[in-house]
Amino acid sequence: MAFNRPDHWVWDFWLADDGDLFHLFYLHAPKSLGNPDLRHRNARIGHATSTDLTNWADHGLAFDAGAPGSFDGSATWTGSIIRDDNGLWRMFYTGSRFPSPDSAANIETIGVATSPDLFTWTKQPGPICVADPALYETLGTSSWPEEAWRDPWVFHNPADHTWHMLITARAKTGTEPDRGVMAYVTSPDLDTWTVQPALSATGSGFAHLEVFQVIEINGQNHLIFCCDTPKLCGPRMGEKGGVWSLPVGAMPGAVDFSNARLLVDERLYAGRIAKDRDGKPFLLAFNNVTEDEEFMGGVSDPIPVHVRPDGYLAVEG
């Protein structure tokens, strides 16, 4: 296992590369909570660094959750990091608020923190975007137990001089629970964000589409995401979940998730592909469950990835 903390559960993570070090930002919660299911409402973002994607030095907490009642007052969840044109690092992350201690219902929104060096972070006040009820499902409008608006993946498209954000969300319409979509938000300057219609349709067999990543490998864009077995539905009912991928065209663009294929099963989850200093792609993911379906946690060792003759990704070994 590449990275773990013996006293904390470690799960979702995202990466930044400053040219010298790989930076791992990871969710963690103390095992003293007793029940690993409680980790979600107690998650914080930690930071570690590595020169080789395998050996990591832990630097502890990146920043804390907000004040009780604020958009990230319960927990800070998964995000992504970009470096803007002025050299400032920006971490877009999920703020989670659980209104009641007796309910799993939560409201998710997107926040941002900035850093000159990836070590010292300043959170910006308030969320930068929320689920638009005119376009997306919100808490209480269906049987789904949360307002899904999380896991922002941000990238720049030089062709249109625009910043783009992909978000885990659910559509207002469609057969329940098969409403998982890839929400879409745009910005001209990384400060002002406008919620747009989803880039995917409902009915592809995923109740949620989590932890997006777009990465180019050998001249082809690939979309990575995850969905676990209990959230597969419709045409995928009875399949096994895990980390999924599919080749895509220029992004942003419409995505047909009915074409997605399982990359690794849910023994690993929340996968990210990183390239080493030689440009070779590797999958990292967190160790999800044991054979007895008990939660494990901890980031896996890098797993080599290659492109199959049919254009889809596959792991080696």
Residue 1 counted as domain residue: no
How far from 84 is each of 114, 191, 285, 308, CA to CA, in Å? 10, 11, 26, 34
What is the pLDDT at residue 142?
94
CB 178 within 8 A of CB 188: no
Residue 93 counted as domain residue: yes
Domain tally for the chain?
A: 1
The percent of residues above 70 in pLDDT, for the chain, comes to 100
What is the pLDDT at residue 294?
86
The 10s digit of each residue's pLDDT in 267-283 is 999 999 999 999 999 99
Whole domain around residue 157: which residue ranges?
8-315
Predicted confidence (pLDDT) at residue 293 exceeds the cutoff of 90: no
Query: Residue range 77-82: average pLDDT?
Result: 98
What is the pLDDT at residue 158?
86
> pLDDT band for position 101 (50/70/90)?
confident
Give me the amino acid identity at 201.
A
Query: Residue range 280-299: average pLDDT?
Result: 92
What is the pLDDT at residue 211?
98
Chain-centre distance of CA 63, in angstroms? 18
261-265: strand order across its sheet:
210-217, 220-227, 242-248, 261-265
Query: Residue range 292-314: average pLDDT?
Result: 95
> If we measure between CA atoms, which residue out of 227, 229, 163 comes closest to residue 196?
163
Of 101-110, 226-235, 245-254, 296-305, the range with the lowest mean pLDDT is 101-110
CB 164 within 8 A of CB 252: yes
Of 26-40, 82-96, 121-135, 291-305, the range with the lowest mean pLDDT is 291-305
Rounded to whole angstroms, the maximal C-alpha distance in the chain is: 51
Query: Residue range 222-249: average pLDDT?
Result: 97
**216-222-252 Cα angle (round to 5):** 90
Residue 69 to residue 55: CA distance in whole angstroms: 38
What is the pLDDT at residue 281?
98
Cis peptide upstream of residue 252 (ω within 30 degrees of 0): yes
Question: Taking all residues of the chain, what is their mean pLDDT, rounded to a whole number?
Answer: 96
Residue 295 counted as domain residue: yes
State how beta strands 106-115 and 146-147 pair: parallel
Predicted confidence (pLDDT) at residue 46 exceeds the cutoff of 80: yes
What is the pLDDT at residue 317?
73
The 10s digit of each residue's pLDDT in 174-201 is 999 999 999 999 999 999 999 999 999 9
Give the CATH number for residue 155: 2.115.10.20
Per-residue tokens: 59: 């630097």
